[in-house]
Amino acid sequence: MDEWEKKNKIIVEDLYDKGWCVLDNYIPEEFRKELLKEQRELLMHGQFRLAGIGKGESFAIKPEIRSDKVLWMDESLLTPLQEVYWNKMEKLRTAINQRCYLGLKSFEAHFAMYPQGSFYLRHLDQFQSVSYRIVSVVLYLNETWDESDGGELRMYYTRPDGIEDFQDFLPLGGRVVVFLSGEVPHEVLPTNKERISITGWMKDRE
């Protein structure tokens, strides 16, 4: 088993057992830095747009709910670096299918940038118009991050005694968070500085 397969195995087992996983150093530092650099260049070219809620007819920009900016990846126009990311995600998708039988058929992803002061209120990644999102994968690219920077990902879960609890995770560079899109409510707390990530979804249809 190579390094990637080992990491994927950890994720897949956690996903199977509890529906989510947080794993540090998922990608090598060198790769993270390159991805970050490329994403910063895209940002400088002004291609990011305010993110919306919903899809198609129900799409709406609601900065009172989420105030991040995103740029969708186009599978047919990937840079060599983005292709490496995409291939890693395809490997993870295969590993999840083998263990969890989720029938994941395809992948979509966007670059995300939360400007200072932005947030994303509690939500599920699966809602009526995007019920095909089954597994969410958030990969953080930030150079440095500490408690005072805010911007935690808050993950809600139900304890064995039935009471809801949550756990907060800093968006540390190289950290990946994987969870069942329709089952794990989560939110992004207000960030005190620019917060950069790539978010992807594995879908049960093409």
Q: Using CB under 6 A, list all residues that contact ligand OGA.
A: 112, 120, 125, 138, 153, 171, 186, 188, 197, 199
**Residue 138 interaction partner, one of ligand OGA, Mn ion, none, beta carbon < 5-8 Å per kind:** ligand OGA
DSSP class of 14? H
Q: What is the per-residue binding string for Mn ion in 93-132, x denoting contact by CB under 5 A?
A: --------------------------------x-------
Helices 3-18 and 80-100: angle between axes, nearest 10 degrees: 50
Identify which of residues 33 and 190 has a Cβ nearer to Mn ion in the complex: 190
The yes or no reply on residue 152 touching Mn ion (CB under 5 A) is no
Provide CB contacts within 8 A for 94, sequence distance 6+.
none
Bridge-based pairing state of the strands 164-169 and 153-158: antiparallel
Secondary structure (DSSP) of 33-101: HHHHHHHHHHHHTT--EE--BSSGGG-B--TTTB--EEEE--GGG--HHHHHHHHHHHHHHHHHHHHH-
- Total of chain residues touching Mn ion, rule CB under 5 A: 1
Nearest distance in Å: CB 184, Mn ion = 9
C-beta of residue 21 within 8 angstroms of C-beta of residue 10: yes
Identity of the residue, 72 or 87, whose beta carbon is nearer to ligand OGA in the bound complex: 72
Residue 197 binding: pick among ligand OGA, Mn ion, none (C-beta 5-8 Å cut-off by kind): ligand OGA
> Least CB distance from residue 37 to Mn ion, whole Å?
25
Structure tokens at 11: 């994720």
Cβ-based nearer residue to Mn ion, 81 or 102? 102
Q: Which is nearer to ligand OGA, 95 or 111 (CB)?
A: 111
Give me the least distance between CB of 28 and ligand OGA, in Å please. 21
d(CA 145, CA 188): 15
Residues forming contacts to Mn ion in the complex (CB under 5 A) are: 125
